[in-house]
Amino acid sequence: DITVNVGGTITGGEFLATDEWGFTFDMNIYGAATIEELKLDGNGATTVFVGNGIDAATLTVAQSYMSKSGSVSVTINSGSSMTVDAPSFGWTSGGELEFRPEFPSTFDLVGTGTLRLINDGTYAASLFGTGLIGNGGTTAVTSAQDGDYLVYSTIPEPTSMSLLALGGLALLRRRRRA
């Protein structure tokens, strides 16, 4: 297990979680983490949490290769982000987050959590065989080019937007009365 606490940082190095026998691996990023090489490859269950929904956390991965024969769950909580910055192991065209489709593997963007994949014309990271969901599957996810990155984020649900609009109108009405 790897945990980076609030206010803590970790930089550099190679994190390799590979197994033959189905061990579990947990990574909890509650501060800032920059990892040179993140390779998750094995038969066990892997869980990655970026942020705790209160404090913003960042996970930046220079090279990634996530080819799992077991289940993988990556949760990027509200206010936090995960960035994949460079090509992955053995790929010259870009980084790839690859999970085998026969196993239940997902990226879950919670609230304002974002996933940023390099897409700068030289490198193009991609999702392959991976389910990308918002708020546990209750919210749609959209992507947009932002500089050198393709950024995935949730689309606010209509009910929340309606409540925000009603709150704004109530404030305007109150202000007029004053």
Cβ neighbours around 60 below 10 Å, total: 18
Would you call 147 helix, strand, or coil by DSSP?
Answer: coil
Per-residue pLDDT tens digits for 41-52: 667 777 889 998
Q: What is the structure's pLDDT at 89?
A: 43
Alpha-carbon gap, residue 106 to 103, rounded angstroms: 10
Q: What is the structure's pLDDT at 52?
A: 87
Tell me the whole-structure pTM to 2 decimals.
Answer: 0.75
How far from 88 is each of 64, 95, 104, CA to CA, in Å? 5, 4, 22
Alpha-carbon gap, residue 76 to 51, rounded angstroms: 6
Alpha-carbon gap, residue 138 to 81, rounded angstroms: 19
Q: How confident is the model at residue 125 (pLDDT cuts 50, 70, 90)?
A: confident
What average pLDDT does this structure show over 99-121? 80
